[in-house]
Structure formats: C-alpha cells, structure tokens
Amino acid sequence: MSDGGFMSRSPSSSFGSTYASGASGGQSRAEPEPTPQQRDADRARAELTRANQIAAKVPQLDKVPLARWDAEREALSTDLETFAARLTSTAGVTPSDNADHDRAATVAAIDRARKAIEHARRPRMATPVAGEIEIEPRIAGHSIPPEDVIDWMAGLPKGERSAVWTRYAARDPQDRFAIALANYVAKHRDR
C-alpha cells in the first residue's frame, strides 16, 4: 500500500482481498444513465409532489386574517394555475406506467385544489350568533319566509339580537351575513 491504494474485497481473488493503486482506486462504478422512461417517471413524481404541496395550502386559508384573505387566495390560485400550465409534455417520450399513474394523480390533485379554492369561504367578520351559519344561506338566497326570520331573531338572547342589529346597521361589506340580511330586508320590506 505504499502507492496510496486501499484494500478492497474482490470476488475474483482467492485470498479475499486485493490492493488497488491510488490512481484508479476508490472510484466507484458509474451509475447507469437513467432511461427516458425513468426520467419521465421522476419528472411525473416531482410534479405530483408539487401539486400535493399546493393543494395542502388551500386548507390554510382558514387561518389567514380577513385583511389578507383575498390576496392570499388569489396568490394561491395563481400559483396553482401557473404550475398547471407548466406541466411537462410527454411528447417524444415513451411514458412508464408509474409516470402515467402519477400524472393522473397530479391532474386529480390540481382539480381538487381548484375546487377547494373556488369554494373557499372568507373568514367571518364577527363571531356568528346562534343559528346564523344555518340560516345565512336561506337569507342570502331569499328562500326563507320573513316570518321564519322574525321567529329566529325573536328566539335569540337579547345580547345576540343586539349584535345582529349592530351588524345590520353597520352594513360592513366584509360581513357576509349583515349584507345578506340587509338585502333580504330591503327585498321583503314592502310585503
């Protein structure tokens, strides 16, 4: 080993070890070049991972402060659409079964994320009163008779009735329920 070599096991050696010279010793065998199918599968796996990362951010919109919610939702939507537009093409490549599976899963993840972003609801401006979440869609859709709205309001404790009235009077554009109630009252006022 005076030439700087190292000892290694060799299956051809009858004594179990050989010495390699320092000039060529220590070099490992070259990894075989990945096939086009393997590169395609690796690319498809990376795309699936990125799609899942974006989709995982959608539920985090619930934790975004109201003041930043619209901007965060728009940024997430833009990120998703930019990613979807840049998905790699398989033109000229014989795709592998793994790549096909991952691409299908990527498309599904993108579709789920799009739907989740589309249906994401802005955080509430104020803490909802009893029954507000259940009655809001009916008030917003004008599908509830005025008598039922009056009965609901009458059934609220005095503090909650006052809170609804204060929100109604303020008509803050950020308060979905107050705006829905104001529109409902305006439509049904003359009945």
Read off the pLDDT of residues 72-128 as tens digits, 9 standing for 90 and up: 999 999 999 999 988 866 555 666 777 888 889 999 999 999 999 998 887 776 777
Measured between alpha carbons, how far is residue 43 from residues 95, 99, 101 in Å?
Answer: 11, 8, 12
Distance CA 135, CA 144 (A): 8
**In this structure, is the dihedral angle defined by the CA atoms of residues 92, 95, 99 and 105, taken in order, positive or negative?**
positive
Highest-confidence segment of 59-63, 151-155, 169-173: 151-155
Contact 56, 80 (CB under 8 A): no
Q: Give the per-residue pLDDT at 10.
A: 47
Distance CA 26, CA 117 (A): 54
Task: Quote the tokens at residue 93.
Answer: 């490549």
Contact 125, 176 (CB under 8 A): yes
